[in-house]
Amino acid sequence: MKKQFKPKSWYIKMIHIGKRQLKIDEQSYRANLLLLTGKRSCLDMEILDLVKVLEFLKSKGFKFKAGKATKSAKRAAPTQLDKLRYIWITMNKQDFLKDGSDNALNNWSMGQTKRLNDGTAIAKLEWLQPNMLNALIEQLKNWHIRMLNEAIDHQYPAVALLSQEGQLSPENYQAFVELDEKLRAKRTQESLSGVYNALSLILSNDNSAPKQAGD
């Protein structure tokens, strides 16, 4: 059975309601229309284009009617935006960022989307399309990996020296041996982050002080 569509005017009306409800700024709105359909105005679109735009707005939280949250919604899996924010927060906790605020992440995102979107920046993270969001996740992940590798290259020799001089506690020595094995394996973002955190913890402990006679 052929799918029945509503009149074109209905879709345009709902899209404009969704734009207001989600508080999408004009620049981001036009940029997303262009990315989704190749057109900057709903008036120039066919029905299928308008359906695509409306589905995009619904995926960003646009609701025709307010309803009670369901248990499944409360237990929803992390979104791609959650993953992007998680990497940013982790980098900030590991002191790789000068500013780890949401505003700084949004500014970084605008700079990247402007480069990826022919000079048109997306003003809010929430309005990023999945393909653009995935691209930002990969960029941020690669940046994080570079920072982790650079930091570990400085940390590792310092801990190795403490180990050679017998200044590591038995627990930290065992941890260092295990970290050495991890570094010989494939270096992933997750494994490097764990190694960095562990090396930081070892270096933060009071193991660097020379042992006094009688201790």
- Per-residue pLDDT of 171-207, as tens digits, reads 888 888 888 888 888 889 999 999 999 999 999 875 4
For 55-87, the pLDDT digits (tens) are 999 888 888 664 454 444 455 567 888 999 999
DSSP 8-state assignment for residue 43? G
Please say whether the beta carbons of 129 and 35 come within 8 A: yes
Is 0.85 surpassed by the pTM of this model?
no
Please give the angle made by the CA atoms of 20, 86 and 142, to the nearest 5 degrees: 110
The HSE-up count of residue 147 (CA atoms within 13 Å, CB side) is: 19
Phi first, then psi, for residue 91 (nearest 5°) are: -60, -35
Q: At what angle do helices 130-164 and 189-204 cross, to 10 degrees?
A: 40
3-class SS at 101? coil
d(CA 31, CA 93): 33
pLDDT digits (tens, 9 = 90+) for 115-139: 888 888 888 888 888 888 999 999 9
Chain centre distance of CA 119: 21
